[in-house]
Structure 1
Amino acid sequence: MINKPKPDEYAAFYGNYISLVWEGPVLNILEDLASTTYKFFSEFTDEQANYAYAEGKWTIKEVLGHMIDAERTFAYRILAFSRGQEELPGFDENAYVENATFNSRTIQDMAAEFKATRIANLYMLRALTPGQLNITGIANGSKVSVLAIVYILAGHELHHLKIIKERYLI
């Protein structure tokens, strides 16, 4: 079993994400989330998924699109650091959403893309050695371990699912 990362392995703002990840094998959690998150989003109609709870807030489709972008970004960080790269830039999540076409796509297509992206990433994650999990790099100006990014993947997803349930489904 892979233990949760220690607080010195990630910037403090990631602590909120990591704290959302329950105890258990994190790769199993990520695998379970691939299915449950897919099911959750695929049950929306496109009309429901085009909803934003307030002016200037993302639609449900845009939240899912952001989750897909973040999944890819975190996975790239894992790949890059585990292969020896030492530093990567951050990403502007608002610019990514603004420059995407999420609202023109179907929610079912996006849900399937999220699941496929996660499944592909799980192959990479399962191949990481304990030594690779302990490697650290600099992302967005902050030190972070590969292990912490694995937990951030899960916690980021849980964070956004919670927001949707609390703010969009009332």
Structure 2
Amino acid sequence: MKNLQLEQNEYNPYYQPYVDRTSHVDIITGLKENLRTVINFYESVPKEKHNFAYAHGKWTIKEVLLHCIDTERVFSYRALRISRSDQTEMAGFDQDKYVEASQANRKSFEYLLDEYRTVRLSTIALFKSFGPEDLVKTGRASGSNISLRAIGYIITGHENHHINVLKECYL
């Protein structure tokens, strides 16, 4: 499952910054390495920062983590549907409403890390089930084409993006 150069028609240009933040290794290796990186990063966050937001209206660190969990679930669901040749267009989701409804700040940091780990291991298992012929399958989500392999890289790049934001603005 090597990262063959993604074609521009495999994802919406909105996701380019996430694709650019991948390690350009095969998807499974990237997801596994990203799992270690993300867990190590969040475990290093001081406890007093868990509910911290750097400005009014910005998400807390817990909310950012749960946002990454929710986004990975949505993208994994999209990957499952595409892999099963479901050509029904999939709607987008309002990330702000998801975060608002998540009650992330009421959950323990340990619980959120365990939830993240569980979701990532599920994503890895899903992507392991795909053959090379599956990875080039495309579907439509949020009004654009998206391929399975693009989804794998977007998941990793999205989390790398948020870690960079947390390092720059929160810590």
Q: TM range, normalised to the smaller chain?
A: over 0.9
Cα distance in 1, alignment partners of residues 143 and 9 from structure 2: 15
SS at match of 1:95: helix
2:12 matched residue in structure 1: 11
1:85 matched residue in structure 2: 86
Cα distance in 2, alignment partners of residues 162 and 4 from structure 1: 24
2:108 matched residue in structure 1: 106
The Cα offsets for residues 67-125 of structure 1, whole Å up to 9 and x where unpaired, read as 00001001000001110112111111000001111000111210121111101110110
SS at match of 2:65: helix
Identify the match of residue 155 of structure 1 among 154, 157, 160.
Answer: 157
Identify the match of residue 118 of structure 1 among 114, 117, 120.
Answer: 120
Q: CA RMSD in A?
A: 1.2
Q: TM-score, normalised by structure 2?
A: 0.94
Cα distance in 1, alignment partners of residues 124 and 12 from structure 2: 24
Q: Structure 1 residues 112-121 or 65-74, which shifts more?
A: 112-121
User: Counterparts in 2 of 1:15-164, with a 5 A limit?
Assistant: 15-86=16-87, 87-164=89-166
Unaligned runs of 5+ in 2: none
| Amino acid of the structure 2 residue aligned with 1:79 | L
Report the count of equivalent residues: 169
SS at match of 2:45: coil
Q: Structure 1 residues 107-116 or 66-75, which shifts more?
A: 107-116
Q: 1:42 offset after TM fit, Å?
A: 2.6
| Amino acid of the structure 2 residue aligned with 1:145 | S
Q: Percent identity?
A: 37
Q: 1:5 offset after TM fit, Å?
A: 1.6
CA contact (8 A) 1:45 1:107 kept: no
Unaligned runs of 5+ in 1: none
Cα distance in 1, alignment partners of residues 74 and 42 from structure 2: 21
CA contact (8 A) 1:88 1:140 kept: yes
Cα distance in 2, alignment partners of residues 161 and 29 from structure 1: 15
